[in-house]
């Protein structure tokens, strides 16, 4: 192989000796994991606009909501279908897609500054959507824990109901939206 011929000019007998000398004991699995972690961290920060810890909290909230929903289904002896798991992944994927789009618009579209204020509708949409998702997940989590017998959740759900009533977050039937 020609590559080995050129390496021999620098005192290496083969490609493996060159790689071992250059990179030492760094395993390509370690490099692959490091690149993956770097990609995920960059995606979270740049594309979604989240601090890594905030994203971890978002993942934990989604996981708790999903897990508690499974526990409620087991308690009520409801058969757990794999189709519902797919629905959960689709829902979370949709959340992330919308957050990504709104963040991209917010970061890359510049609006006029009037009296020292930039009138950016995507800023309000991004934060409004994010708050709505967190509200919905917290409400669902509290409902699940209440169904599991945690009486403390009744007060928290009452607070959420007062908030939804005050800000008119009810659907057309007058019920709180989920």
How far is residue 170's CA from residue 172's CA, in Å, rounded to a whole number? 7
* Cα 2 from chain centroid (whole Å): 47
Lowest mean pLDDT among 16-20, 120-124, 165-169: 165-169
pLDDT in tens, 42-66: 888 888 998 889 989 999 999 999 9
Q: Cα–Cα–Cα angle for 171, 134, 150, nearest 5°?
A: 90
Q: Cα–Cα–Cα angle for 154, 156, 88, nearest 5°?
A: 95
Is it the case that residue 80 has pLDDT exceeding 60?
Answer: yes
Residue 170: per-residue pLDDT: 64
Is it the case that residue 178 has pLDDT exceeding 50?
Answer: no
Helix (H, G, I), strand (E, B) or coil at 7: helix
How far is residue 34's CA from residue 82's CA, in Å, rounded to a whole number? 32
Q: Tokens 């991004």 label which residue?
A: 126
Residue 175: per-residue pLDDT: 55
How far is residue 176's CA from residue 151's CA, in Å, rounded to a whole number? 20
- 62 close to 137: Cβ distance less than 8 angstroms: yes
Give the Cβ contact number of residue 108 at 10 Å. 8
């Amino acid at each position: 192989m020609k590559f080995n011929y050129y390496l021999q000019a620098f005192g290496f007998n083969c490609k493996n000796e060159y790689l071992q000398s250059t990179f030492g004991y760094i395993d390509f699995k370690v490099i692959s994991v490091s690149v993956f972690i770097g990609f995920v961290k960059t995606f979270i920060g740049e594309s979604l606009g989240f601090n890594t810890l905030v994203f971890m909290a978002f993942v934990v909230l989604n996981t708790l909501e999903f897990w508690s929903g499974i526990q409620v289904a087991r308690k009520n002896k409801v058969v757990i279908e794999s189709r519902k798991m797919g629905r959960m992944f689709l829902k979370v994927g949709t959340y992330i897609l919308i957050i990504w789009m709104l963040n991209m618009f917010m970061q890359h579209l510049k609006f006029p500054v009037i009296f020292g204020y930039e009138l950016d509708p995507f800023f309000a949409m991004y934060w409004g959507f994010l708050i709505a998702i967190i509200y919905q997940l917290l409400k669902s989590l509290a409902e699940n824990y209440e169904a599991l017998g945690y009486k403390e959740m009744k007060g928290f759900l009452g607070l959420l109901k007062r908030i939804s009533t005050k800000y008119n977050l009810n659907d057309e039937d007058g019920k709180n939206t989920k």
